[in-house]
Chain A
Amino acid sequence: MRSRDIISSLFWAVMGIGICWGGYELELGNLHDPGGGFMFFWVGVIMVGLSCGILARAIRQTATAGEMKAVWAGISWKKIVSVLAVLFIYAYLLTPLGFIPATILLLIFLFKAVEPQRWSWAILGAVVSTLAAYGVFRLWLQCQLPPGLLGS
């Protein structure tokens, strides 16, 4: 807990200072007429105060060897990073490629990402799921989805 709390409290302290600064820049106003930065500033102050409290408590605790390692132990980083990367790429390509091609590619990857499956199954699953989602959301519920390469 100790290392995690030290890291996270430092992060929130910096964030709190940034929010205070942003609030101050926005104009604090006065108690008769609080300005747009009033709430930001004071919420930022509270964040800094709480972070300092967590930090102080964490520093007082005795360090446990390998604590950070235990939190991340056994995690398949490759899966998480690759899934996230592909989702960001999907967001980037969604408008130019269009919903159907981009989603089929995404789903093929996702179906193969965690536990490898046969290509035929992944492709079929991706195509069927994409077309079903398109049918429900675009054709039935009339949600706007980017047409991209396929035009309208």
Chain B
Amino acid sequence: MDLLNYLGIGFSVALRPENLLYCFVGVFIGTLIGVLPGIGPVGAMSLLLPSTFKATPEAAIIMLAGIYYGAMYGGSTTSILVNIPGEAASVVTCLDGYKMARQGRAGPALGIAAFGSFIAGTISVLGLMLLAPPLARFALEFGPPEYFTLMMLGLTILIYLAHGSMPKALIMAAFGIVLGLIGLDTMTARPRFTFGRMELLDGVGLVPIVMGIFGVSEVLLNIEQVVRRDVLKTTIKGLLPTARDWKDSTGPIARGSLLGFLLGVLPGGGAVISSFLSYALEKKLSKHPERFGKGAVEGVAGPEAANNAATGGAFIPLMTLGIPPNVIMAMLLGAFMIHGVTPGPLMMKQNPHLFWGVIVSMYIGNFMLLILNLPLIGIWVQILKVPYKILFPLILLFCLIGVYSVNNSVFDIYVMLIFGIVGYLMKKFDYEGAPLVLAFVLGPMMENNLRKSLITSQGDFSIFFTRPLAAVSLVIAVILLISPLIPWLRKKREEIPKEEAS
């Protein structure tokens, strides 16, 4: 009964005209950036964050969430039509999606991707709705040691899953923590690493860092060499999959949804890993594995369902524990904070309108995406044809406006440009941006909880080992950290598909 009441609250919030508009704008932009290689959901969310300042917290989060799951829908379009994934999570869709398009079946490929995404998105929202309340109640018993170790575990998993060398990912995380701690000490109000600059007293902004690393550096990488994108010249017809396609895809969509949702809850690149695992699983279960890679519809349906279901799962740690499991959720945490809302176990009680409004808006957003991605597919195909020489000045313009309007500060533009250069060099030297950004967001919370834990225990580190959840989290984190030293664990890590920087 409670659940129905809460759903009622959610619908009353999500169906307000203003929120419907923000939801539509979110999923529209999400699809757009999913379609356009060069700017990912993180960049787009930071870019649009300032535009939500005048909106209510509900509208702001509804729109930003829409960008996230909308990007997963849009990412499949480029994979199928151009053989270039719009998102890392759509890499695997290229394998069979593009082959289907070459065989004249672009329509059913796009259709099953959209339907699969819709079904998986809806299932994951249901999972989120059912799982979040009990987890939030459980989280009320957590103290600073649990929070510190959980954040450490989250960060460690992201580092473990990072692309390339683990020590490099660790250095990035350490650097992110340092950047996150710049500004006034929350306990003593003493300035730290501000170098006498007033602008740094409040710390370095999340938006300039994210825009620099994920926006400006991407542009620099794209203009250094000309990238050709040849849109497959094919007529897209018959978007509705055939009965045979449905028969082949029902199982993969169901399995992909479940797998995606469960992996999405875990920190790290849930959407990416789940799409690869779903592909591997379907190939293994198939009676005709030889069809995979040659235009098998299951190879599109399963991974697309998995990456969309993962987006719903990723909301669980953020909304119930206040711990972002990936960079995109870290961005969303920043948005929550800017709007004066602290996500965590109390959010459901203190802000039921926001919590349930966002969840219900995801149902509605999924419907909107279905319409955007099926009847309106032609628009996205046209957008794919916009040349980069026109696109990149506009991306830079939006980055500049987005960064400036957060604090009306030119200083933030300089910070973004510096991090643009840093991000560019990071890519050249094989360092990844995701651990830096997540550590940047988690750093201050980790420090706060570490100091509180040590003050409570009077300097006794055993507080982290005597509390079961803290101990388990710490042990797993340590195992993951030392994994490169253990050959079979190192091999396992190398086999996992990795999330690229964006």
Contacts and interface: CB of A to CB of B under 8 A. Distances in A.
A-B interaction? yes
Interface of A: 1, 4-5, 7-8, 12, 15-16, 19, 22, 26, 30-40, 43-44, 46-47, 50-51, 53-54, 71-72, 74-76, 79-80, 83-84, 87-88, 90-92, 94-95, 103, 106-107, 110-111, 113-115, 117, 125, 129-130, 133, 137, 141-145
A43 B178 contact: yes
Interface residues of B, number: 64
A34 B51 CA distance: 39
A140 B392 CA distance: 24
Contacts of A38: 451
A143 B50 contact: yes
B429 A26 contact: no
Nearest to A39: B447
Given A4-B430, A7-B429, A111-B390, A91 B417 contact: yes
Contacts of B171: 12, 47, 50-51, 54
Given A36-B187, A40-B181, A80-B424, 19 more contacts: A34-B451, A39-B177, A39-B181, A40-B178, A40-B193, A43-B174, A54-B167, A54-B171, A75-B224, A79-B224, A83-B220, A84-B417, A87-B417, A88-B414, A91-B413, A114-B392, A129-B394, A143-B53, A144-B405
A133 B220 CA distance: 22
Contacts of A79: 223-224
Nearest to B182: A40
A26 B401 contact: no
10 contacts: A32-B458, A34-B450, A38-B451, A40-B181, A40-B193, A50-B171, A50-B174, A54-B167, A72-B428, A114-B223
Contact of A46 (B53, B170, B226): B170
Interface of B: 50-51, 53-54, 165, 167-168, 170-171, 174-175, 177-178, 181, 185, 187-188, 190, 192-193, 216, 219-220, 223-226, 387-390, 392-394, 396-398, 400-401, 404-405, 408, 410, 413-414, 417, 420-421, 424, 428-431, 443, 446-447, 450-451, 454-455, 458-461
Contact of A88 (B50, B225, B396, B417): B417
Contacts of A71: 428
Given A141-B51, A141-B54, A32 B224 contact: no
B421 A84 contact: yes
Contacts of A16: 174
A36 B454 contact: no
Contacts of A113: 223
Nearest to A137: B401
A76 B224 CA distance: 5
Contacts of A43: 174, 177-178
Nearest to A90: B400
Contacts of B193: 22, 40
Contacts of B443: 39
Contact of A137 (B51, B168, B216): B51
> Lowest 10 A-B CB distances belong to which pairs?
A31-B459, A110-B393, A143-B405, A36-B185, A32-B459, A91-B413, A115-B389, A39-B447, A8-B429, A75-B224
Contacts of B226: 115
Contacts of A110: 392-393, 396
A15 B187 CA distance: 25
A92 B417 CA distance: 12
A36 B192 contact: yes
A107 B410 contact: no
B192 A114 contact: no
Contacts of B170: 46, 50
B114 to A, nearest CB: 28
Contacts of A35: 188
A129 B225 contact: no
A51 B390 CA distance: 41
Given A34-B454, A54-B168, A4 B185 contact: no
Contacts of B454: 31-34
B223 A80 contact: yes
B94 to A, nearest CB: 25
Contacts of B404: 94, 145
Nearest to B395: A110
Contacts of B388: 114
A145 B405 contact: yes
Nearest to A53: B167
B50 A94 contact: no
Contact of B405 (A39, A74, A137): A137
A76 B223 contact: yes
A142 B401 contact: no
Contacts of A106: 393, 397
